Structures are given as structure tokens and as C-alpha cells.
């Protein structure tokens, strides 16, 4: 399969809403950007991890965020006293977190349809310690405090770390500060949403070049 390449050169012109000046942003002559992976070298499949997150609006005004993790191998795999046949899930785990509009956890459920050791489900009851916690700044620290190390499960922690992102994407307004004079919470967190970049100027000109609580005039 030939590698498909996106090749273009951009020059973006904006009118700054506040300074009433034209600003020319010269976007680097965009070199060659692959838009899909190249064809791989000859290889054999070994392991597949599938992870999914779904958000649901409930009729009672709360939201459910469901996370699912499944591990399978393409060859027989033995751990403990059991051998797993190819395609049979070694881990098949679910989490449902119920949150309110402030992203406070109101309930949590965990199911393990498949797990490698009889002791694995012992980590389920401690998950209730997250009820009442808020998903936001310090969320990973909260997970580690209540479920870190031998108190929890590596794979469930992996799901929990990203449940917050799914909640932000699912709940209207979750990524916006209640104070409309402050920028959305995701600004300044990645290349595209750089306060000094063209995306913020285009989508949120009010917060273009935002520094220390105010935009550059």
C-alpha cells in the first residue's frame, strides 16, 4: 500500500478583533505530513488490547461513563494453571462511573468478565473509595491514593485515568470555566490550542495570547 502524503502550504490572515490590525501568520511550509501509517514490514500478530469509553446522559440528570478493556493474544498463553487459547480474553474488564454536572462521582460499578487469577476480583470493593471524589485537577493522584499499588488493579487504574477525559467529552460545559471571562480548560494544553497560535486566534480570539489572567491587547 503506497503511503499517502498530505502536502500543502498555508498562509493565514486574521483581523485581530481588539487591535483592529491585520495579523499575518506564516505557517511553515508544511513539509510532508503522512495521513496514514506506511505499510509495515512482514510481521506476526502477538497481542491486542482493546479499550473503549462511552458517555451516556441519564434521565435523572446524571451521566454514566463506561470504560471497557479487553486483552487477547494470537497464540496460546499460559499463566498460573490456565492456558488461554488464541482470541480468548485474558482481561475483560468494565467500569461504570456515574457523575453529576460537577463531575463528582455518585456511584461506581466494576465487572470482570475475564481475569487471569482468582484473586483479581478482590480489588473491586475498594473502588467504592472513589465515590464522592471529583474528576478534575489531581484526579490521577486521587486514584493513586485510594487504589495505588496492591490496593488496586493496574488495568482498572489505566481505565480510570482516562475516564475523566471521556466525561469531559460527554458532559456539556465540562470543559468550560463557569467564569466566562476565563478560557476553556483545554486551551494551552496542546499544540493546536496554544494561546499564541492560529487556532485560538480563529476559534477564541478573545483569549488569543492569554497571559496571567488576561489577553494581550
Q: Which of helix, strand or coil describes residue 72?
A: strand
pLDDT at site 3: 43
Q: What is the DSSP letter of 82?
A: E
Q: Which residue positions in the chain have pLDDT lower than 70? A: 1-34, 212-217
- State the Cα–Cα distance between residues 105 and 96, nearest whole angstrom: 10
Q: For CA atoms 26, 29, 35, 38, give the dihedral sign.
A: negative
| Percent of the chain scoring above 70 in pLDDT | 82
pLDDT at site 1: 41
92-149: pLDDT as tens digits = 999 999 999 999 999 999 999 999 999 999 999 999 999 999 998 899 999 999 999 9
Domain spans in the chain, listed from the N-terminal domain onward: 5-39+175-215, 47-170
- State the Cα–Cα distance between residues 64 and 50, nearest whole angstrom: 20
Record the pTM. Answer: 0.77
pLDDT at site 137: 85
Amino acid at each position: 500500500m503506497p503511503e499517502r502524503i498530505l502536502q500543502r502550504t498555508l498562509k493565514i490572515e486574521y483581523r485581530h478583533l481588539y487591535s483592529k490590525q491585520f495579523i499575518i501568520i506564516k505557517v511553515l511550509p508544511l513539509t510532508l505530513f503522512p495521513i496514514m501509517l506506511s505499510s509495515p514490514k512482514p510481521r506476526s500478530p502477538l497481542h491486542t488490547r482493546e479499550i473503549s469509553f462511552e458517555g451516556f446522559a441519564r434521565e435523572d440528570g446524571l451521566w454514566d461513563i463506561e470504560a471497557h478493556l479487553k486483552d487477547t493474544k494470537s497464540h496460546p498463553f499460559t499463566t498460573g494453571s490456565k492456558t488461554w487459547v488464541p482470541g480468548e480474553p485474558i482481561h475483560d474488564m468494565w467500569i461504570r462511573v456515574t457523575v453529576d454536572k460537577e463531575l463528582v462521582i455518585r456511584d461506581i460499578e466494576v465487572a470482570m468478565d475475564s481475569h487471569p487469577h482468582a484473586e483479581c476480583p478482590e480489588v473491586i470493593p475498594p473502588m467504592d473509595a472513589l465515590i464522592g471524589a471529583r474528576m478534575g485537577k489531581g484526579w490521577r493522584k486521587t486514584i493513586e491514593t485510594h487504589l495505588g499499588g496492591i490496593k488496586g488493579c493496574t488495568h482498572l487504574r489505566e481505565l480510570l485515568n482516562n475516564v475523566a477525559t471521556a466525561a469531559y467529552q460527554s458532559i456539556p460545559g465540562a470543559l468550560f470555566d463557569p467564569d466566562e471571562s476565563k478560557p476553556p480548560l483545554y486551551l494551552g494544553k496542546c499544540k493546536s490550542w496554544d494561546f499564541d497560535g492560529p487556532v485560538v486566534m480563529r476559534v477564541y480570539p478573545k483569549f488569543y495570547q492569554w497571559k496571567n489572567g488576561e489577553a494581550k491587547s
